[in-house]
Structure 1
Amino acid sequence: MARMGRPTVEVVLTDEERETLLRWPRRATSSQALALRCRTVLACADGGSNTALVAELGIHPVTVAKRRKRFAADRLQGLSDEPRPGPPRTVGDEKMEEVVVRTLETTPRNATHWSTRDMAAASGLSQSTVSRIWRTFGLKPHLVDTFKLSRDPQFIEKVRDVVGLYLDPPERAIVLCVGEKSQIQALDRSAPVLPMMPGRPERRTHDYLRGGVTTLFAALNAATGEVISSLHRGHRAVEFKKFLAKLGKEVPDHLDVHLTCDNYAAHRTPAIQKWLPAHPRFHMHFTPTSSSWLNQVERWFALLTDKQIRRGVHRNVQALEKDIRAWIADWNDNPRPFVWTKTADEIFERLTGYLNRIKDSGH
């Protein structure tokens, strides 16, 4: 009895085509769709029937037949996506360039930055078209970021010193990133907090009652992420000296102690300058002025603020300090160090890029 139905298109590969079809699915940049097409063509060339490939690859029989036909006609080029149907573009490259240039180099007459409505009115395009152009080129006029350039005359030397500690720490030594988070307020809301519910976020009153302040001294181990901390009601040289003494007790005697600190006045008082020579294993390394981002403990302070302090409710300082100590103890049960990756030269190169974008930077 004669076999009914359409004849199966035979797939025969050259050695070069087979090698290419085996290589493409292994590339990190290849899509899953392309990888599946390659496997389908290879299976067809190995003599697999459409029915067998449906069970093996989990695709529709029509898809298998389509892949056979397209490969037989267009070979490897037939594996790429065909142009999708749709209307032609109505906004040309010149018009898109005009919108991008106007967004980057001008501002509207009555505002400090463009909105999609203002740009649509100025360019004659629709608001949705302007929005698509901005998304394509990554333009967000409504957003603004902040930065500050250090004017420290020893900026280069200090950056190399601190970054060198992170990337190549000295032997038989510990690197501690030291800082103070001062004026942590114990805040209690004037009414009970309303808990989160489906479709409604947590709600709290905008006003609060002050219950006092405390200061957290912290030293982050750059290698392990562990934190040595101490809470005080003040943040003078007296409290900093006590914290240094605590570090001396907790760090093993056979290790030198390298401290990265900011330029807070309490770190340079005569009392501290007198204490350091009496404890020669302590070495102070100062970050440049206006460069707190170099001190890794500041990143840890940001985590503490975000996860415990900012939304915390505390009636008094004692309750605040109890929660801070509990959070630090939980952190030290599973410490996570911050891995520093930027070299000093990479930092200077990035800074040069900022300076080149600032008119009359003087640098």
Structure 2
Amino acid sequence: MPSPKLEPVVLSDEERSVLTGWVRRRKTSQALALRARIVLLCAEGATIARVAEQAGTSRNTVSKWRSRFLSARLEGLTDEPRPGRPRVISDEQVERVVTATLEETPGADTHWSTRSMAAATGMSQSAVSRIWRAFGLKPHTVQTWKLSTDPQFVDKVRDVVGLYLNPPENALVLAVDEKSQMQAIDRTAPILPIMPTTPARMTHDYVRHGTTSLFAALDLSSGSVIAQHYRRHRHQEFLRFLKLIDAAVPKDLELHLVLDNYATHKTEKVKRWLIRHPRFHLHFTPTSSSWLNLVERWFAELTNRKLRRSAHRSVVELERDVRAWVNEWNTDPKPFVWTKPADDILETLAGYCQRINDSRH
């Protein structure tokens, strides 16, 4: 039998204005924005199936919030009260805290603290803290970021990501970089071992015993690494490392190297050597885009699993320790698999740029 005809959703001008504001305001919770969009689409006369498709949700969700709106209007789109102690903080107070956190600063300070927000709103610090946790607000936290200004950014991203996702046949793709200024550091007192209820402990101060640079080439297919220490990282050392790669990789394989724009990678001597060795193909990441080079992920493993909690009394000792760690890694290497297409990366960065432009108005 045909389903009963649905009651139409008719909006007043005020309701439409409120719903549109919820959808467009960047600071609205995602759940409330979705409910408002569902009602707006229903008001246009779309079927439940069509609304579900356009809103990217299920038919049951559309039916639920359509019915809730028809029965309770705008109030029906908020979450139903749960059993327990009655609320002592009103929606207006919550909105005041959230709006002030997002859009204001406390006088001469750069950001709010629970103490300053409590003083400004007449609420307790614990109440402010609960509201911030509920909305995922962390005024004390700042994340750093940097956008590349490389004029060939798009082409380079597509080139490098294309290598990761679709490597050429009869070729080896190597992510190459240098971890420079690796310090041989010894603590001023012995590291105390871990004990029940007590973590390992080390002094915050240390003594430096010199530096070294680690040149590394990560094989994307197997996860194995060609690595070599040099005390400096000039073009001479880079050439020596290229020759090491050339000797280590079978001659019948083409070599595609992903590396950054460091000046030592582009000197005349390096270019002349590459001309004499045509199986080497260099693919440069955009400037300020080290995140695009997968060997950086391997360097993070080296840092977290070996360097951060080690102590070395000389550069020779540091190099020997790192070499042993690399050899152990290569006995059971773990490849890092790149999964994000270039279009998704560029779309995400375009979204960041749009947010930056919007924040200037």
TM category, shorter: 0.7 to 0.9
Partner in structure 2 of residue 4 of structure 1:
none
C-alpha displacement of 1:83? 8.1
The answer to whether structure 1 residue 134 and structure 2 residue 96 are counterparts is no
Is 1:144 equivalent to 2:142 in the alignment?
A: yes
TM-score, scaled relative to structure 2? 0.74
Matched AA of 2:329? W
| Matches of 1:260 and 1:83, distance apart in 2 | 56
The 5-angstrom pairing of residues 274-289 of structure 1 reads 274-289=272-287
8 Å CA contact 1:355, 1:361 repeated in 2: no
Q: Residues of 2 paired with 1:98 and 1:83: CA distance? A: 20
Deviations 1:245-278 (A, max 9, x none): 1111111211110000001111001111001111
Q: How many residues align?
A: 281
Distance in 2, matches of 1:86 and 1:154, equals: 59
* Cross-structure match for 1:215: 213
The Cα of 1:135 is off from its aligned counterpart by: 1.1
Q: 2:297 aligns with which of 283, 299, 304?
A: 299
* Percent identity of equivalent pairs: 62
SS at match of 2:320: helix
Deviation at 1:214, TM superposition (A): 1.1
Matching residue within 85, 88, 98 for 2:86: 88
Instruction: Write the deviation string for residues 234-255 of structure 1: whole angstroms up to 9, x where unpaired.
Output: 1111111111111111112111
Root-mean-square deviation (Å): 1.8
**In 2: Cα distance, 1:353 partner to 1:112 partner:** 26
CA contact (8 A) 1:217 1:230 kept: yes
Unaligned runs of 5+ in 1: 1-81
2:115 corresponding residue in structure 1:
117
Structure 2 distance, partners of 1:145, 1:303, is 22
CA distance in 1, matches of 2:82, 2:133: 21
Amino acid of the structure 2 residue aligned with 1:139: L
| Candidates 76, 97, 103, aligned match of 1:99 | 97
Q: Secondary structure at the match of 1:140?
A: coil
TM-score (norm 1): 0.74
CA distance in 2, matches of 1:257, 1:318: 31
Residues 276-319 of structure 1 deviation map (CA, whole Å, 9 limit, x = unaligned): 11111100000000000000001111111121112210000111
C-alpha distance in 2 between matches for 1:263 and 1:200: 45
Q: Which has the larger radius of gyration?
A: 1
1:181–1:361 distance in 2 versus 1, CA, 3 Å? farther
Partner SS state of residue 209, structure 2:
strand
Task: Using the TM superposition, give the Cα deviation of residue 98 of structure 1 relative to its aligned residue in structure 2, in angstroms.
Answer: 1.5
Correspondence for 2:234 among 233, 236, 244: 236
Equivalents in 2 of 1:317, 1:335: separation in Å? 26
Q: 2:184 is matched with which residue: 183, 186, 210?
A: 186
For the Cα contact (< 8 Å) 1:217–1:229, is it kept in 2? yes
SS in 1 for 2:236: helix
Q: 1:335 matched to which residue of 2?
A: 333
CA offset at residue 209 of structure 1? Answer: 2.0
Q: What SS is found at the alignment partner of 1:338? A: coil
Cα distance 1:179–1:361, how it changes in 2: closer, same or farther (>3 A)? Answer: farther
Q: Which runs of 5+ in 2 are unaligned?
A: 1-79
- Mapped partners of 2:130, 2:351: distance in 1: 28
How far the C-alpha of 1:107 sits from its partner, in A, is: 1.2
One of 300, 313, 316 as aligned partner of 1:315: 313
CA distance in 2, matches of 1:161, 1:239: 26
SS of the residue aligned with 1:337? coil
Deviation at 1:84, TM superposition (A): 5.9
Question: For 1:197-208, what aligned pairs fall within 5 Å after superposition?
Answer: 197-208=195-206
Distance 1:241 1:116 in 2: 56
CA distance in structure 1 between the partners assigned to 2:128 and 2:169 by the alignment: 57
Counterpart of 1:119, as a letter, is: M
The Cα offsets for residues 1-46 of structure 1, whole Å up to 9 and x where unpaired, read as xxxxxxxxxxxxxxxxxxxxxxxxxxxxxxxxxxxxxxxxxxxxxx
